[in-house]
Amino acid sequence: MSFEIINPSTTKELLSTVKKFQKKNFRFGAGCTDLLLELKKNPEEDLTIINLAQVKDVQLTGIKKNSTGLRIGARVTAHDIVVNEEIKKSYPVLHEAALNLASTQIRQVATVGGNICTGSPSGDIACALVALDADCEILGTTGKTRTIPITDFFTGVRKTVLKKNEVLYGIYIHAKKKNTKNIYSHFIKIGTRRSMECSVVSLAYHIQTDERKKIIHAGIAIGASAPTIRLTESACSFLTGKNLFKISEADKREFAEKILSYASPISDLRASAWYRKEVLFNISQSIFENLSADEK
């Protein structure tokens, strides 16, 4: 494995570097926790890494709350997510996804942008963001940005809509309701060990109810179950309007079946397709257990 590395220090420099390298073989890197492993496995000839880690731009590195939601820069690390109180309070699913990522050491450098752009079906932070129906803000060489929903971002295993000259700039989570009460939001990660683990199956959910426990919004995403992380729309709409605390056994099964309809898992070294489906079905129904633990 060998490559050149370029360290732009401003966004302007970054854009001009991207322009300059248009016809060459380059990759973006930030935490590089995925990239280095990939390059070790499949070395690329004449490769340049455009390193985002030195770019001084609060749009890339900051977490900012406004009246309609929360913007997270693409270079925010998993550790930054874990320690952010606003995320912990309002978007527990994202907090938990980041907390369960790899190990303490990796979380210090692994970035939100990296977790999304690597396009892995088992990306944990990405899965939580799909459940939260986040938007992706993409920066082009002209300095202009375009915004697309994260559900449209992934096009296949390790494939995304990003063009060669585009950088993921940040993501935006829309607050569904102003208050942060009545939130049932968790990340369920299934693997064989408790850390340094890549999800065998994951389920991210962010459910909000009114005071009477009627579900007013449900975002449910599955990871490591299909070529891309998927938002299980029919399962989400199935829940909306129902009382979260009074879901019948038959409805729980129907809900789980709906989630399963989005799954087309593969068998690999970590688990068989059979196992992934079986577990997904079981954990989908577990959402309705221990709800009182979230009552504060």
Choose, by CB under 8 A, the member of 156, 196, 243, 253 that binds other proteins.
196
Choose, by CB under 8 A, the member of 103, 147, 237, 261 that binds other proteins.
103
Between 193 and 212, whose beta carbon lies closer to other proteins? 193
Is residue 68 close enough to count as binding other proteins by CB under 8 A? no
Structure tokens at 209: 């109810």
Is residue 195 close enough to count as binding other proteins by CB under 8 A? yes
Is residue 108 close enough to count as binding other proteins by CB under 8 A? no
Is residue 198 close enough to count as binding other proteins by CB under 8 A? yes
Is residue 272 close enough to count as binding other proteins by CB under 8 A? yes
Between 103 and 240, whose beta carbon lies closer to other proteins? 103
Minimal distance in Å, beta carbon 117 to other proteins?
20
Is residue 45 close enough to count as binding other proteins by CB under 8 A? no
| Three-state secondary structure readout of the chain | CCCEEECCCCHHHHHHHHHHCCCCCEEEECCCCCHHHHHHHCCCCCCEEEECCCCCCHHHHCEEEECCEEEEECCCEHHHHHHCHHHHHHCHHHHHHHHCCCCHHHHHHCEHHHHHHCCCCCCHHHHHHHHCCCEEEEECCCCCEEEEEHHHCEEECCEECCCCCCEEEEEEEECCCCCCCCEEEEEEEECCCCCCCCCCEEEEEEEEECCCCEEEEEEEEEECCCCCCEECHHHHHHHCCCEHHHCCHHHHHHHHHHHHCCCCCCCCCCCCHHHHHHHHHHHHHHCCCCHHHHCC
Residue 285's contacts (CB-CB under 8 Å, 6 or more residues apart) are: 252, 253, 255, 256
Q: Are 177 and 67 in contact (CB under 8 A)?
A: no
Is residue 269 close enough to count as binding other proteins by CB under 8 A? yes
Count of residues of this chain found to bind other proteins when the rule CB under 8 A is applied: 20
Between 264 and 286, whose beta carbon lies closer to other proteins? 286
Choose, by CB under 8 A, the member of 275, 277, 291, 294 that binds other proteins.
275
Stretch that binds other proteins, among 7-15, 63-71, 125-133, 272-280 (CB under 8 A): 272-280
Between 176 and 277, whose beta carbon lies closer to other proteins? 277
Between 42 and 142, whose beta carbon lies closer to other proteins? 42
Is residue 279 close enough to count as binding other proteins by CB under 8 A? yes
Is residue 179 close enough to count as binding other proteins by CB under 8 A? no
Is residue 94 close enough to count as binding other proteins by CB under 8 A? no
Is residue 257 close enough to count as binding other proteins by CB under 8 A? no
Is residue 293 close enough to count as binding other proteins by CB under 8 A? no
Q: Which of 84, 75, 70 is nearest to 110 (CA)?
A: 75
Binding residues for other proteins, rule: CB under 8 A, are 103, 190, 192-196, 198, 200, 269-272, 275, 278-279, 282-283, 286, 289
